[in-house]
Amino acid sequence: MLFYETDLAGVVHFSWYLRYMEEAEHAMWRAAGLSVAQSGSDIGFPRVSATITFSAPLRFEEEFEVDITIEAISKRSIRYLCEITRGSVRVATGTMTAACVRHEADRMQPIDIPDDVIAKLSARSSSAQ
């Protein structure tokens, strides 16, 4: 991580954990041949819920990993489970839920997740387990 991600004590600020989790989500989508923000598409996946439980601090220049799995896919949302570790130390666990929406003028309308997205993410999720 970078210095600006930390507070004055050199500990990663809590807000960065959500960013790390989201980066892992984007990597999962790319590995499945998808994008959470497909160019030219009016479909999006905004976060509707997120949780983090902290177990240990991350400090400046420490290396860490973020593992993400799909905990559940429903008709209109995806729930992810994340674990952030530093070596064998669990740093944090978290969840994120993203809803599938269509952008319409000045609002978002919930829609069903496209079948190809479910198929590709499900295949990726089952091959990662």
Q: What is the DSSP string of 36-100?
A: TT-TT--EE--EEEEEEEE-S--BTT---EEEEEEEEE-SSEEEEEEEEEETTEEEEEEEEEEE-
Q: Which residues contact 4 (CB under 8 A, 6 or more apart)?
A: none
Mean pLDDT of 65-83: 96
* Least reliable range by pLDDT among 3-12, 63-72, 115-124: 3-12
Q: What angle do CA 90, 53, 8 make, to 5 degrees?
A: 85
**pLDDT value for 101:** 97
Q: Which residues contact 15 (CB under 8 A, 6 or more apart)?
A: none
**pLDDT value for 38:** 81
pTM: 0.88
Q: Which domains does the chain have, with CATH numbers?
A: 3-128 (3.10.129.10)
* pLDDT tens column, 29-45: 999 999 988 888 899 99
**pLDDT value for 12:** 87
* pLDDT tens column, 76-107: 999 999 999 999 999 999 999 999 999 988 89
CA distance 31 to 34: 7
